[in-house]
Amino acid sequence: MNEFLMSSAYFGLFLTMGTYQLGRWINRRAGREVCSPLLVSTAACCAVLLLSGTDYDVYFQSGADMLEYFLTPATICLAIPLYRQYTLLKKNTAAVAAGCISGVAVHMLGCVLMLALFKMEAAEYITLLPKSITTAIGKSMSQELGGYPAITMAAIMITGIFGAVAAPLLLKLFRVEEPLAQGLAIGTSSHAAGTSMAVEMGDVQGAASSLAIVVTGLLTVLAAPLAAKLAG
Protein backbone atom coordinates (compact mmCIF):
# COMPACT_ATOMS: atom_id res chain seq x y z
CA MET A 1 0.00 0.00 0.00
CA ASN A 2 2.83 2.40 0.85
CA GLU A 3 4.44 1.83 -2.54
CA PHE A 4 1.15 2.47 -4.33
CA LEU A 5 0.44 5.68 -2.44
CA MET A 6 4.00 6.93 -2.84
CA SER A 7 3.37 6.96 -6.58
CA SER A 8 0.43 9.32 -6.02
CA ALA A 9 1.44 12.97 -5.81
CA TYR A 10 -1.87 14.15 -4.33
CA PHE A 11 -3.18 11.36 -2.05
CA GLY A 12 -2.45 13.24 1.18
CA LEU A 13 -3.81 16.50 -0.21
CA PHE A 14 -7.12 15.05 -1.38
CA LEU A 15 -7.51 12.93 1.77
CA THR A 16 -7.08 15.97 4.02
CA MET A 17 -9.33 18.25 1.99
CA GLY A 18 -11.92 15.54 1.42
CA THR A 19 -12.21 14.61 5.10
CA TYR A 20 -12.43 18.28 6.08
CA GLN A 21 -15.31 18.83 3.66
CA LEU A 22 -16.91 15.70 5.09
CA GLY A 23 -16.55 17.24 8.54
CA ARG A 24 -18.20 20.47 7.37
CA TRP A 25 -21.12 18.48 5.93
CA ILE A 26 -21.55 16.49 9.14
CA ASN A 27 -21.34 19.69 11.18
CA ARG A 28 -24.10 21.33 9.11
CA ARG A 29 -26.30 18.26 9.31
CA ALA A 30 -25.76 17.57 13.01
CA GLY A 31 -25.71 21.22 14.07
CA ARG A 32 -23.54 20.44 17.06
CA GLU A 33 -20.18 21.87 18.09
CA VAL A 34 -18.83 18.41 18.94
CA CYS A 35 -18.91 17.61 15.21
CA SER A 36 -16.15 20.11 14.50
CA PRO A 37 -14.75 19.77 10.95
CA LEU A 38 -11.24 19.88 12.41
CA LEU A 39 -11.99 16.98 14.75
CA VAL A 40 -13.78 14.93 12.09
CA SER A 41 -10.99 15.49 9.58
CA THR A 42 -8.27 14.49 12.04
CA ALA A 43 -10.12 11.36 13.15
CA ALA A 44 -10.97 10.34 9.57
CA CYS A 45 -7.38 10.81 8.34
CA CYS A 46 -6.03 8.76 11.24
CA ALA A 47 -8.57 6.00 10.57
CA VAL A 48 -7.68 5.83 6.86
CA LEU A 49 -3.95 5.69 7.58
CA LEU A 50 -4.36 3.00 10.24
CA LEU A 51 -6.72 0.81 8.23
CA SER A 52 -4.60 1.05 5.10
CA GLY A 53 -1.33 0.60 6.97
CA THR A 54 0.02 3.80 5.46
CA ASP A 55 3.01 5.48 7.07
CA TYR A 56 2.59 9.11 8.11
CA ASP A 57 5.63 10.12 6.07
CA VAL A 58 4.04 8.67 2.94
CA TYR A 59 0.82 10.56 3.62
CA PHE A 60 2.69 13.79 4.30
CA GLN A 61 4.90 13.56 1.22
CA SER A 62 2.04 12.68 -1.11
CA GLY A 63 0.49 16.12 -1.18
CA ALA A 64 -0.32 16.94 2.45
CA ASP A 65 2.89 18.93 2.69
CA MET A 66 1.44 21.39 0.17
CA LEU A 67 -0.98 22.60 2.82
CA GLU A 68 1.94 23.92 4.87
CA TYR A 69 2.43 26.67 2.33
CA PHE A 70 -0.98 28.07 3.30
CA LEU A 71 -0.20 28.27 7.03
CA THR A 72 1.60 31.61 6.84
CA PRO A 73 -1.00 33.46 4.73
CA ALA A 74 -3.80 31.90 6.77
CA THR A 75 -2.19 33.12 9.99
CA ILE A 76 -1.71 36.60 8.53
CA CYS A 77 -5.40 36.67 7.61
CA LEU A 78 -6.20 36.48 11.33
CA ALA A 79 -5.01 40.11 11.50
CA ILE A 80 -7.99 41.25 9.39
CA PRO A 81 -10.60 41.07 12.20
CA LEU A 82 -7.94 42.48 14.53
CA TYR A 83 -7.60 45.54 12.30
CA ARG A 84 -11.36 45.95 11.96
CA GLN A 85 -11.89 45.89 15.74
CA TYR A 86 -8.78 47.86 16.68
CA THR A 87 -10.72 50.71 18.28
CA LEU A 88 -12.76 48.35 20.46
CA LEU A 89 -9.68 46.43 21.58
CA LYS A 90 -7.81 49.64 22.35
CA LYS A 91 -10.67 50.82 24.58
CA ASN A 92 -10.51 47.53 26.49
CA THR A 93 -6.76 47.24 26.96
CA ALA A 94 -7.10 46.48 30.66
CA ALA A 95 -9.59 43.69 30.02
CA VAL A 96 -7.36 42.18 27.33
CA ALA A 97 -4.32 42.27 29.63
CA ALA A 98 -6.24 40.82 32.57
CA GLY A 99 -7.72 38.03 30.48
CA CYS A 100 -4.40 36.96 28.96
CA ILE A 101 -2.47 37.20 32.23
CA SER A 102 -5.06 35.16 34.12
CA GLY A 103 -5.16 32.58 31.34
CA VAL A 104 -1.40 32.09 31.36
CA ALA A 105 -1.34 31.99 35.17
CA VAL A 106 -4.01 29.27 35.30
CA HIS A 107 -2.17 27.26 32.65
CA MET A 108 1.15 27.45 34.51
CA LEU A 109 -0.55 26.57 37.80
CA GLY A 110 -2.16 23.55 36.16
CA CYS A 111 1.23 22.31 34.94
CA VAL A 112 2.72 22.78 38.42
CA LEU A 113 -0.14 20.78 39.95
CA MET A 114 0.44 17.99 37.41
CA LEU A 115 4.13 18.00 38.33
CA ALA A 116 3.27 17.54 42.00
CA LEU A 117 0.38 15.07 41.64
CA PHE A 118 1.85 12.77 38.99
CA LYS A 119 5.49 13.12 40.06
CA MET A 120 6.50 13.97 36.51
CA GLU A 121 10.09 14.16 35.42
CA ALA A 122 11.49 17.60 34.66
CA ALA A 123 11.57 17.05 30.88
CA GLU A 124 7.96 15.81 30.85
CA TYR A 125 6.79 18.79 32.87
CA ILE A 126 8.65 21.27 30.68
CA THR A 127 7.19 19.64 27.58
CA LEU A 128 3.68 20.68 28.62
CA LEU A 129 4.45 24.29 29.54
CA PRO A 130 4.03 25.67 25.97
CA LYS A 131 0.97 23.60 25.03
CA SER A 132 -1.41 26.58 24.91
CA ILE A 133 0.61 28.73 22.50
CA THR A 134 1.19 28.52 18.77
CA THR A 135 3.41 25.75 17.40
CA ALA A 136 6.12 28.05 16.06
CA ILE A 137 6.88 29.40 19.54
CA GLY A 138 6.04 26.28 21.53
CA LYS A 139 8.35 23.92 19.66
CA SER A 140 11.39 26.19 20.04
CA MET A 141 10.63 26.90 23.68
CA SER A 142 10.32 23.21 24.54
CA GLN A 143 13.64 22.47 22.88
CA GLU A 144 15.47 25.32 24.61
CA LEU A 145 14.13 24.47 28.08
CA GLY A 146 14.93 20.76 27.77
CA GLY A 147 11.56 19.24 26.89
CA TYR A 148 10.47 16.93 24.11
CA PRO A 149 9.55 19.10 21.08
CA ALA A 150 7.68 16.31 19.26
CA ILE A 151 5.42 15.68 22.26
CA THR A 152 4.98 19.43 22.72
CA MET A 153 3.71 19.70 19.14
CA ALA A 154 1.26 16.86 19.77
CA ALA A 155 0.07 18.53 22.99
CA ILE A 156 -0.39 21.84 21.16
CA MET A 157 -2.43 20.13 18.45
CA ILE A 158 -4.63 18.30 20.96
CA THR A 159 -5.15 21.51 22.94
CA GLY A 160 -6.17 23.39 19.82
CA ILE A 161 -8.61 20.74 18.64
CA PHE A 162 -10.14 20.41 22.10
CA GLY A 163 -10.50 24.18 22.33
CA ALA A 164 -12.15 24.43 18.92
CA VAL A 165 -14.62 21.69 19.83
CA ALA A 166 -15.30 22.50 23.48
CA ALA A 167 -15.18 26.30 23.47
CA PRO A 168 -18.78 26.92 22.32
CA LEU A 169 -20.08 24.35 24.81
CA LEU A 170 -18.07 25.75 27.72
CA LEU A 171 -19.04 29.33 26.91
CA LYS A 172 -22.71 28.33 26.99
CA LEU A 173 -22.23 26.30 30.17
CA PHE A 174 -20.65 29.21 32.07
CA ARG A 175 -22.90 31.78 30.36
CA VAL A 176 -20.08 33.86 28.92
CA GLU A 177 -22.02 36.11 26.55
CA GLU A 178 -19.67 39.08 26.09
CA PRO A 179 -18.00 38.71 22.63
CA LEU A 180 -14.70 40.20 23.83
CA ALA A 181 -14.51 37.78 26.76
CA GLN A 182 -15.36 34.86 24.49
CA GLY A 183 -12.56 35.70 22.08
CA LEU A 184 -9.98 36.23 24.81
CA ALA A 185 -10.87 32.92 26.47
CA ILE A 186 -10.54 30.99 23.21
CA GLY A 187 -7.32 32.63 22.02
CA THR A 188 -5.60 32.37 25.39
CA SER A 189 -6.31 28.67 25.81
CA SER A 190 -6.34 27.17 22.32
CA HIS A 191 -4.24 29.40 20.00
CA ALA A 192 -4.85 29.37 16.21
CA ALA A 193 -7.04 26.26 16.05
CA GLY A 194 -9.45 27.76 18.55
CA THR A 195 -9.25 31.13 16.83
CA SER A 196 -10.64 29.56 13.66
CA MET A 197 -13.76 28.81 15.70
CA ALA A 198 -13.76 32.31 17.20
CA VAL A 199 -13.69 33.87 13.72
CA GLU A 200 -16.82 31.90 12.83
CA MET A 201 -18.54 33.20 15.98
CA GLY A 202 -18.05 36.85 15.01
CA ASP A 203 -15.61 39.66 14.16
CA VAL A 204 -15.13 40.76 17.77
CA GLN A 205 -14.46 37.21 18.95
CA GLY A 206 -12.03 36.65 16.09
CA ALA A 207 -10.16 39.91 16.74
CA ALA A 208 -9.89 39.31 20.48
CA SER A 209 -8.74 35.73 19.96
CA SER A 210 -6.10 36.81 17.40
CA LEU A 211 -4.72 39.39 19.82
CA ALA A 212 -4.79 36.88 22.67
CA ILE A 213 -2.57 34.49 20.67
CA VAL A 214 0.17 37.13 20.45
CA VAL A 215 -0.08 38.37 24.04
CA THR A 216 -0.31 34.85 25.46
CA GLY A 217 2.72 33.78 23.46
CA LEU A 218 4.79 36.67 24.82
CA LEU A 219 3.67 36.08 28.41
CA THR A 220 4.40 32.36 28.15
CA VAL A 221 7.90 33.05 26.82
CA LEU A 222 8.50 35.13 29.97
CA ALA A 223 6.77 32.83 32.46
CA ALA A 224 7.81 29.37 31.22
CA PRO A 225 11.53 29.64 32.15
CA LEU A 226 10.53 30.65 35.67
CA ALA A 227 8.04 27.80 35.94
CA ALA A 228 10.60 25.37 34.54
CA LYS A 229 12.91 26.09 37.50
CA LEU A 230 10.31 24.52 39.82
CA ALA A 231 11.18 21.14 38.33
CA GLY A 232 14.85 21.56 39.13
pLDDT tens-digit profile of 43-83?
999 999 898 888 888 888 888 888 878 877 877 777 788 88
Structural domain harbouring 218: 79-231
Q: In one letter, which amino acid is 114? A: M
The pLDDT-based confidence of 19 (bands split at 50, 70, 90) is very high
Pair (51, 97) in one structural domain: no
pLDDT tops 70 at residue 141? yes
Pair (90, 148) in one structural domain: yes
Say how far apart CA 203 and CA 131 lie, in whole Å: 26
Q: What whole-number percentage of the chain has pLDDT above 90?
A: 41
Residues sharing a CB contact under 8 Å with residue 142, sequence separation 6 or more, in sequence order:
126, 127, 129, 130, 148, 149, 151, 152
The pLDDT-based confidence of 232 (bands split at 50, 70, 90) is low
The pLDDT-based confidence of 86 (bands split at 50, 70, 90) is confident
Assigned domain for 74 exists: no
Which residues in 9-28 are b (16+ Cβ under 10 Å) and which e? eebbbebbeebbeebbebbe
Last residue of a domain, one of 68, 92, 116: 68
Question: How far from the centroid of its chain's Cα atoms is residue 160's Cα?
Answer: 3
Pair (125, 210) in one structural domain: yes
Q: In one letter, which amino acid is 1? A: M
CB 66, CB 16: distance < 8 Å:
no
Assigned domain for 73 exists: no
Last residue of a domain, one of 68, 88, 114: 68
Give residue 191's region: left, alpha or beta (phi > 0; psi -120 to 50). left
Q: Using the Cα atoms of residue 118, residue 120, residue 124 and residue 129 in order, give the sign of their dihedral.
A: positive
Tell me the average pLDDT across 142-153. Answer: 90
Pair (44, 84) in one structural domain: no
| pLDDT at site 7 | 63
Assigned domain for 35 exists: yes
The pLDDT-based confidence of 175 (bands split at 50, 70, 90) is very high
Pair (166, 56) in one structural domain: no
- Name the phi and psi angles at 130, rounded to 5: -95, 20
The pLDDT-based confidence of 34 (bands split at 50, 70, 90) is low
Pair (95, 148) in one structural domain: yes
